[in-house]
Amino acid sequence: MVDGFIKIMAVSPDLHVGDTLFNLEKIKEEILKAEEKGVKILVFPELSLTGATLGDLFLQPTLQKEAVNALLSLESFMEKRDMLVTAGLPLRAGGALYDVTALISGEGIHGFSPKMILNPKESRVFSPGTDLVAEIDKREFIVSPDLIYRCREKTELSIGIITGSSMTGPGSVEDDLAATGATLLIRCGYHGEKAGYGKYIEDAVKAGSDRLKAAYVYSEAGPGESTTDNVFGGHKVICECGVMLAAGDSFNKAEVLSEIDLELIENLRIKEIGFINSPPMDMEEFSLNITDTSITRTYDHLPFVPKGEEEERDLRTIFDVQAYGLKKRLEHTGIKKVILGISGGLDSTMAVLVCARTMDLMGLPRENIIGITMPCFGTTDRTKNNAEELVKALGASFREIDIKDSVLSHFKDMGHDPEDRNVTYENAQARERTQVLMDLGNDLNALVVGTGDLSEHALGWATYNGDHMSSYGVNDSLPKTLIRRLTSFIADREKDDNLKNILKDILATPVSPELLPGKEGNITQKTEDIVGPYELHDFFLYYIYRYDFGPGKIYRIAREAFRDIYDDQTILTWMKTFYKRFFSQQFKRSCAPDSPDATGISLSPRGGWDMPSDACSTLWQKEIESIMG
């Protein structure tokens, strides 16, 4: 459970209906296999010791007795094992028969979670779950649907168990368990296989884990059950806070295995408004050794970029948020024109595409977009030509204003030697461009649209009161990796071949501020050579912002995500740069212009990210240094 990771496996082994001895041996076999894989929590289906389809045979004392004997044998087998196991059986208690799931560890049986919702056929033999005490082997155990099992060594691991596959109806059992502190929900069920049922189960478990900010594991009876009326598919699913970690297809006997992240769950719950745990009505404690956990789950190295069947919808939504945000600002101010600097790079390309979409939404001519290119000392022909061709291809108004003489005049006024190409040399160009845009915006009654992105804001890669400033920003919640994907998405769907080719060439151009002269007109400044790869910085930002992970945890998962891309030293080097810049450049974010949040991650000082400009990065840098050795 180092870094909050704990390995979980869901299985649906072969069984013989009513043969507890056979079923017990199969369960033992799965436990031994799980031990070899480092599993700490092993989940079996409902009524796994007997089979779930015995009907009236559940009322037979012979079956009930042998089920308890099998449970006690399993308890003996588990002695001193560093693992938790669920086991299902019919249990007589308080003058009634209950369908229960037991939780067992190396310390013994911890308690029983009874089934709450029964169908008419089950009601013939079982009673709905209630709070009572059962006596087994001269020991008393809690039987309660509200029972929480909590780890002594890692209190973040609190388990709630639901017996039964039904996830519909009022008064959700998992809601109550999560409200009393359960971070891991285990559901043991059985259900006849039907067309579409597998997707329903996966969607329901995924949605439940997201809504309750919990890990959710489901294991269901498989083909070993009776086929008199149904065939059972043995679905197994592991989800975490709305993310599908692992799932098994129908009739697939293979186990489903992954690691849940308790730290992630706890951090999300802390930020969740109104998610305050009530004290559990019933609680049992167990022990597990705190050991490191090998990671088999995968981490996307581009976490901001939508993927899968929702990719197109998500990208369109992001683009619409940008455009409708700008539309509202223009309508509110009564301004019908926009002005922005066009560099021929990705960010200004994205911004002018948003402006074009906005003009279309407002029924205004695209000539109302004024794209200004302002070449200076480091501008290359490639970017300058792409800027001009892009604006014209969109049907917008284009102007070129060369700022070299203005900047040189400014240097003369300041007494700055143009041969001294320090930060003043660079920033003067950025501020001159902003002055041109602001003053020309006044002259033309046009709103100055900012082009900076989330990655640049995080790193402070902007000139204060230069490209840092605008009247309204449209890219501020989009990191560089997402802007690249969104631009590519738009280019792929563009019907105008000329515009498509321009966008493709812009995508192929290295990211550069172009503030220093290059040899033979080539780009001499490549941003990622200076501050580091944006895909790494975006990854760091995502896990800092969304899950509040520290450097050590982020480094660990970054190694997994970038295993075939960057070596460990490279990751650590740029992580150190990220934290240094992220802290030191907060003052720029503290006075950032208005901008819409399109991704759920915003560094806006008005609610996106709250951080003092003089916060120290010492503790974070110290943690990075400890990793670097």
CA distance 50 to 121: 17
pLDDT reading at 529 higher than 90 = no
For residues 60 and 28, is the Cβ–Cβ distance under 8 A? no
pLDDT reading at 425 higher than 90 = yes
Return the half-sphere exposure (C-beta side, CA atoms, 13 A cut-off) of residue 403.
25
CA distance 129 to 160: 14
- What is the three-class DSSP state of 309? helix
CA distance 81 to 57: 33
Average pLDDT value for residue range 84-101: 96
Q: How many other C-beta atoms can be found within 10 angstroms of the C-beta atom of residue 562?
A: 19
Q: Give the pair of three-digit tokens for residue 612.
A: 């003092």
Average pLDDT value for residue range 422-449: 96
240-244, 268-272, 323-327, 535-539 — which is least confidently predicted?
268-272
Return the half-sphere exposure (C-beta side, CA atoms, 13 A cut-off) of residue 317.
11
Domain boundary assignment for the chain: 2-286, 308-628
Average pLDDT value for residue range 296-301: 95
Positive or negative, the CA dihedral 283, 286, 291, 293 is: negative
pLDDT tens figures, 541-577: 999 999 999 999 999 999 999 999 999 999 999 999 9
Average pLDDT value for residue range 238-265: 92
Report residue 249's pLDDT band, with 50, 70 and 90 as the boundaries: confident
Average pLDDT value for residue range 252-272: 91
Average pLDDT value for residue range 522-549: 89
pLDDT reading at 19 higher than 80 = yes
pLDDT reading at 331 higher than 90 = yes
What are the b/e assignments for 228-258, b being 16+ CB within 10 Å?
Answer: eeeebbbbbbbbbbeeebbbbebeeeebbbb
- What is the three-class DSSP state of 466? coil
What's the DSSP call for residue 245?
A: E
CA distance 242 to 600: 15
What are the b/e assignments for 594-616, b being 16+ CB within 10 Å?
Answer: ebbbbbebbbbeeebbeeeeeee
Return the half-sphere exposure (C-beta side, CA atoms, 13 A cut-off) of residue 492.
8
Q: How many other C-beta atoms can be found within 10 angstroms of the C-beta atom of residue 56?
A: 9
Q: What's the confidence (pLDDT) of residue 168?
A: 64
Question: Would you identify the CATH topology of the domain 2-286?
Answer: Nitrilase/N-carbamoyl-D-aminoacid amidohydrolase (3.60.110)
Q: Give the phi and the psi of residue 235 in degrees, each rounded to 5.
A: -65, 145
Q: What's the confidence (pLDDT) of residue 517?
A: 77
- Distances 605 to 450, 492, 597, 609, 620 between C-alpha atoms, Å: 16, 35, 12, 6, 22
Q: What's the confidence (pLDDT) of residue 514?
A: 65
Q: What's the confidence (pLDDT) of residue 202?
A: 93
Q: How many other C-beta atoms can be found within 10 angstroms of the C-beta atom of residue 213?
A: 21
Positive or negative, the CA dihedral 398, 399, 404, 409 is: negative
Look up the pTM and report it.
0.92
CA distance 208 to 168: 11
Q: What's the confidence (pLDDT) of residue 39?
A: 97
What are the b/e assignments for 33-52, b being 16+ CB within 10 Å?
Answer: ebeeebbbbbbbbbbbbbbb
Q: Give the pair of three-digit tokens for residue 496.
A: 């105008």
For residues 595 and 608, is the Cβ–Cβ distance under 8 A? no
Mean pLDDT score across all residues of the chain = 94
Average pLDDT value for residue range 21-49: 97
Q: What's the confidence (pLDDT) of residue 518?
A: 66
Average pLDDT value for residue range 500-505: 96
Q: What's the confidence (pLDDT) of residue 89?
A: 98
Closest CA to 238 of 247, 248, 250: 247
For residues 126 and 58, is the Cβ–Cβ distance under 8 A? yes
pLDDT reading at 528 higher than 90 = no
CA distance 190 to 198: 12
CA distance 359 to 237: 46
Q: What's the confidence (pLDDT) of residue 252?
A: 77
CA distance 604 to 594: 8
CA distance 315 to 354: 13
Q: Which residues pair with 147 in a beta bridge?
A: 282
C-alpha 5 chain-centroid distance: 16
Q: What's the confidence (pLDDT) of residue 171?
A: 55
For residues 368 and 336, is the Cβ–Cβ distance under 8 A? yes
pLDDT reading at 414 higher than 80 = yes
DSSP run (H or E) holding 434: helix 423-444
Q: Which residues pair with 7 in a beta bridge?
A: 259
Residue 613: partners with Cβ closer than 8 Å, 6 or more residues away: 586, 587, 590
The answer as to CATH 3.40.50.620 being correct for domain 308-628 is: yes
Q: What's the confidence (pLDDT) of residue 587?
A: 97
Report residue 523's pLDDT band, with 50, 70 and 90 as the boundaries: low
Q: What's the confidence (pLDDT) of residue 167?
A: 76
Q: What's the confidence (pLDDT) of residue 86?
A: 98
Q: What's the confidence (pLDDT) of residue 280?
A: 79
For residues 322 and 353, is the Cβ–Cβ distance under 8 A? no
Report residue 272's pLDDT band, with 50, 70 and 90 as the boundaries: confident
In degrees, rounded to 5, the angle at the alpha carbon of residue 340 between the alpha carbons of residues 338 and 344 is 140
Helices vs. strands in the chain: H and E counts, helices first: 20, 20
CA distance 517 to 379: 7
CA distance 558 to 535: 11
What's the DSSP call for residue 58?
A: G
Q: How many other C-beta atoms can be found within 10 angstroms of the C-beta atom of residue 537?
A: 27
37-41, 46-50, 75-79, 174-178 — which is least confidently predicted?
174-178
Q: What is the share, in percent, of the chain residues with pLDDT greater than 70?
A: 97
Q: Which residues pair with 216 in a beta bridge?
A: 185, 239
